[in-house]
Amino acid sequence: RVELKTSDLTEDSNAIQKANDFLKAFMAGFEVQDSIALMRLEDIYVETFEVKDVKTLAGDHLARCIGRIAGEKGKTKNAIE
């Protein structure tokens, strides 16, 4: 569990939201530098979903589905990042 707070020294009114975006990206597997970029750029955000929420899959079928989303050698995943 992580608790985010501002202080009297916080100048940016969006600091909590930026910190939340950073943590979500980092915990989703993005590199630290990419997660930091989210805080600096206003027009970029991270949206995630669970494959199981879209389609009921298990075992090899789930792994195959995730592999197809990631693309050959992770090309699609890297392009998104």
Alpha-carbon distance of 43 to 30, in angstroms, equals: 17
pTM above 0.85, yes or no: no
Asked if 76 and 69 touch (Cβ cutoff 8 Å), the reply is yes
pLDDT value of residue 43: 79
Per-residue confidence (pLDDT) for residue 38, from 0 to 100: 81
| Amino acid occupying residue 47 | E
Residue tagged 């389609």 (tokens):
55
Q: Spell out, as residue ranges, where the chain has pLDDT lower than 70.
A: 80-81
